[in-house]
Structure 1
Amino acid sequence: MSAVHDTNKACCSIPPVQSDYKSKGSYQKVGQFDKAYVVGDSKTHALICIYDIFGFFPQTEQGSDIVSQALSGTKVIMPDFLQGKPWPEDNFPPKTDEDKQKLQEFFGTTANVGDRLAELKSVASTLKSEGYTHISLYGFCWGGKVATVAAGEKDLFKSVAIVHPAMLDVKDVNGIEVPFGFYPSKDEPSDTIKEFQEALSKKAFADKNDYKHYENMHHGWAAARADLKDPENKKAFEDVYGRLATFFGSNNQ
């Protein structure tokens, strides 16, 4: 599996935004991960969230809180897939050729899609062994790529959604086997978005999919790069998490 990030310039140039949101959940041990953000108390329904390359951020946790509450306490779990080594926000965007190369190496090692996919499947299997019968998944940016590839695991996941995904590739649609929510921004390649959505519309479960192109939003508007002091960003942020809750509420049954 390719370790090289795509050419989405916005993904590799827009820095994270600070937030003073106070998360409602807590950090807990989940499966092989010593640290995971967890909110919600359901013993049967769970959502796994894959954050972006900046790791745990208040805005991403705020989104988890919104979805959990909207789905009556569905447990949302955000494992520390980057193992305490997210890309440092003080070195973003990378400015020197050396730092740009380090970012590509980051995608090939710490954020390697294949390795993180194996860990994701292990977490889902652990949840199943603990009695969770309805598990779904969503991811942002880099996490959206991992989630897309995981959408072929229909024995583990009821449904999958991606928000402003990185490394978007229409060939990945061939492997998608479960209802799929697709929420790109203005910064993903428009031709790829169109091809990706057209391919999704041909799936046997297309009537269960959900799609909205947030054409006025930058890459990252729903995760670490969300500027919730901006009214338009806040409106789109609330909208996409509402759509995620509705989508998972319909398909994680």
Structure 2
Amino acid sequence: MSTTNKACYDLPKGSMEKVAGIDTYVTGDKSSQNAIICVYDIFGFWDTTKQGADLLAESMKTKVVMPDFLREHPWPIDGFPPRDEQEGKKFGQWLETIGNISERVKDVKSVSEALKADGASKVGLYGFCWGGKVASQLAGANSPFAGVAMIHPAFIAPEDAKSLSVPVAFFPSKDEPQNDVDGFWNNLKSAHPELLEKSQFKYYNENHHGFAAARANLEDKSNYFAFQDVYTRLADFFCTVFK
């Protein structure tokens, strides 16, 4: 994977297509036998998130797709965290409707089915923040994915780790609750030792929540190197689970 700053400042290289009826950013080798789905964060499409998908696709020589699961209604980046009680209520309503995790899980399954129908033999999944929670719900029993990755995930539930059925990459930031981070990984180790060999964990305890997606600041040296590092680790993880 490139280690030069220029790679991260390039404009996104992919194109927009329909996948399972959803407008989708598609990047990488479309003839690849494998595919990876990205669930962006609550802020939707963002150049840094797309550039990360480009890096992953290029390093793995595979196809990465980022569907617009929020249907052009992302939460505004300047409205998080909510600035007052009224905005907090609106955010709660948004999470129950547009950002409803159960409904978006159904969408992800549909996209996975469409990719397999189009020839993908194995499909991976990764998500950020809110998207990390969506991804975690698809790593349990009868998961359709070869592996699932969660990057600075929101709403970490240690109990979720007990029901895992596939390897996971777990990359929390300094802003995730330490007890939840430790609880999730400890539950994985105790409940599913058979998944450990292909799973990965790194605690990005010097980087803020959002450093690898919409809230990435690639002009900041620490953020830039963490951004590069997390996509390198994602590539290594998916190469391992696709074998």
Question: How far did residue 89 of structure 1 move?
Answer: 2.5
1:58 to 29, 47, 50: 47
Decide whether aligned partners of structure 1 residues 39 and 159 sit closer, same or farther in structure 2, where only a CA change above 3 A counts.
same
Partner of 2:71: 83
Question: How far did residue 28 of structure 1 move?
Answer: 0.9
Question: How far did residue 235 of structure 1 move?
Answer: 0.5
Which residue identity is paired with 1:130?
D
Q: TM-score, normalised to structure 1's length?
A: 0.89
2:167 to 179, 193, 199: 179
Specify the SS of the correspondent of 1:201. Answer: helix
Q: Note the 1:94-243 alignment, pairs <5 A.
A: 94-152=82-140, 154=142, 156-202=144-190, 203=192, 204-243=194-233
Question: How far did residue 78 of structure 1 move?
Answer: 0.4
CA distance in 2, matches of 1:110, 1:178: 28
CA distance in 2, matches of 1:54, 1:21: 20
Contact persistence 2:143–2:165 (CA under 8 A):
no
Which residue identity is paired with 1:188?
E
Which residue identity is paired with 1:63?
G
CA distance in 2, matches of 1:245, 1:163: 13
Contact persistence 1:39–1:68 (CA under 8 A):
yes
Decide whether aligned partners of structure 1 residues 134 and 58 sit closer, same or farther in structure 2, where only a CA change above 3 A counts.
same
Greater relative contact order (Cα < 8 A, sep 6+): 1
1:247 to 190, 213, 237: 237
Q: How many residues align?
A: 233
Q: Deviations over 1:86-106 (max 9, x none)?
A: 002243332121101111111
Point out where structure 1 has 5 or more consecutive residues left out of the alignment.
1-18
Which residue identity is paired with 1:197?
W
CA distance in 2, matches of 1:80, 1:209: 27
Higher share in helix: 2
Question: How far did residue 175 of structure 1 move?
Answer: 2.2
Specify the SS of the correspondent of 1:150. Answer: coil
Specify the SS of the correspondent of 1:198. Answer: helix
RMSD: 1.4
CA distance in 1, matches of 2:82, 2:180: 25
CA distance in 1, matches of 2:141, 2:46: 27
CA distance in 1, matches of 2:53, 2:107: 20
Q: Which moved more, 1:172-181 or 1:223-232?
A: 172-181
Question: How far did residue 137 of structure 1 move?
Answer: 0.2
Q: Which moved more, 1:102-111 or 1:92-101?
A: 92-101
Partner of 1:22: 11
CA distance in 1, matches of 2:197, 2:9: 39
CA distance in 2, matches of 1:21, 1:70: 15
Contact persistence 1:186–1:215 (CA under 8 A):
yes
Contact persistence 1:21–1:59 (CA under 8 A):
no
Which residue identity is paired with 2:132?
G
Point out where structure 2 has 5 or more consecutive residues left out of the alignment.
1-7
CA distance in 1, matches of 2:129, 2:237: 19
Q: Which moved more, 1:208-217 or 1:35-44?
A: 35-44
Contact persistence 2:159–2:187 (CA under 8 A):
no
Question: How far did residue 21 of structure 1 move?
Answer: 4.2
Which residue identity is paired with 1:26?
S
Q: Are 1:69 and 2:55 counterparts?
A: no
